[in-house]
Chains A and B, each alone.
Chain A
Amino acid sequence: MLTFSSTATHPNATPLGKDPYSHYFRVTRKHENTGFCMKNVTITMDEHLLKATRVAAAEAGLSVSKFVARAVSEALEPKPTQPAPYGISEQRRLMEQFLSGPRLDGLLDENGKAPSRDEANAR
């Protein structure tokens, strides 16, 4: 969902910046799946990087905005977890510690089911 509002000049424009032909659009886009708003951000980069970004975005057929958002998304993707380089991983050690503790008897109901979420949150 896109919502547009427009003013004749940028709200931060100085008097010298008045331009009868410029319009400033504030765009709010709701993500189709999550309903979350897409946020506008300002980023700073040097001129050479900006130029290279524009070229790369054009080559990818994307706007600079979408290109940067995609790059950030990819950077945040979980990296493949590597097995411990030697010996047992810290998490595996935790699991063994948990599993070597006392056992539970009588917690499952007559159908062999663990307590439900409601039971687990009951006072």
Chain B
Amino acid sequence: MKPTHARVFFDTNTFVYALTIQDTSKANRCADWLRAAGDHSAAYASLQVANEFINVLFRKFKTWSEDDVFSAADTIFMLSDHTVETNTIKLARTIRNITLYAWWDCIMLACAVEQRCSHFLSEDMAGNTSVLGMAIINPTAMEPEHVFS
């Protein structure tokens, strides 16, 4: 396994897809991404991702116990060694000016840029675009080998 410069940020939907049983193809692909990034210690997230994951499960998926939800979210928290500060918000404003993405998307992107991520995995914002040098890619449409070759 070769060393890599890639630093991959995982958006909330990537974690949701990785656990779904409704779409095996998406689940397997997102699980592949998580494993590949994990192999290289190159996976990043943010507290916003962890909080969205928890909120979605609490609101829309009531069959899991709170322990199940928090246990799964603990993994995301472990990837979130980043604090949102004033400069994060300034950067989000810059990204908003550039992209016109929704505000919560801009904050998420700012967190990824501040962590010097090279790739941002999200189904929602993908379109072969990049923001401040960070590529936004749809994890279900690309194999991790393209990044972790």
The yes or no verdict on A and B being binding partners is yes
Chain A residues near B (Cβ < 8 Å):
33-36, 77-78, 80-84, 89-99, 101-108, 112-122
Q: Specify which of A36, A90, A108 is in contact with B23 (CB 8 Å cutoff).
A: A108
**Which B residue's beta carbon lies closest to that of A99?**
B31
B38 interface hit (Cβ, 8 Å): yes
Given A34-B91, A121-B52, A114-B38 contact (CB < 8 Å): no
Q: Is the CB of B124 within 8 A of A92?
A: no
Q: A90-B41, A103-B20, A107-B16 are in contact. Are A83 and B26 (CB under 8 A)?
A: no
Q: Could you jot down 18 A-B contacts, CB within 8 Å? A: A33-B132, A78-B116, A80-B4, A81-B7, A81-B42, A91-B39, A95-B34, A95-B75, A96-B35, A99-B31, A103-B21, A108-B22, A108-B23, A114-B16, A117-B104, A119-B59, A120-B12, A121-B104
B40 touches A83 (CB 8 A): yes
Residues of A within 8 A of B84 (CB): none
Question: How many residues on B have C-beta within 8 angstroms of the other chain's C-beta atoms?
Answer: 56
How distant is A86 from chain B, measured CB to nearest CB, in Å?
12
Q: B-side binding surface: helix, strand, loop or mixed?
A: helix
Partner of B7, one of A34, A78, A95: A78
Taken together as a complex, chains A and B put the C-alpha atoms of A91 and B4 apart, in Å, by 15
CB atoms of B94 and A108 under 8 A apart:
no
- Which chain B residues lie closer than 8 Å to A115 at the CB level? 13, 16, 56, 60
A91/B52 in contact, CB under 8 A: no
**Nearest Cβ on chain A to B19's Cβ, whole angstroms:** 5
Binding site for A on B (CB under 8 A): 1-7, 12-13, 15-23, 26, 31, 34-35, 37-43, 52-53, 55-57, 59-61, 63-64, 68, 71-72, 75, 78-79, 90-91, 94, 102, 104-105, 108, 116, 123-124, 132
Bound complex: CA of A34 vs CA of B6, how far in Å?
23
Cβ of B5 and Cβ of A78 under 8 Å apart?
yes
Known contacts: A35-B94, A103-B21, A105-B22. The answer to whether A91 contacts B38 by CB under 8 A is yes
Chain A residue at minimal CB-CB distance from B12? A120
Instruction: Say yes or no: B19 contacts A104, CB within 8 Å.
Output: yes
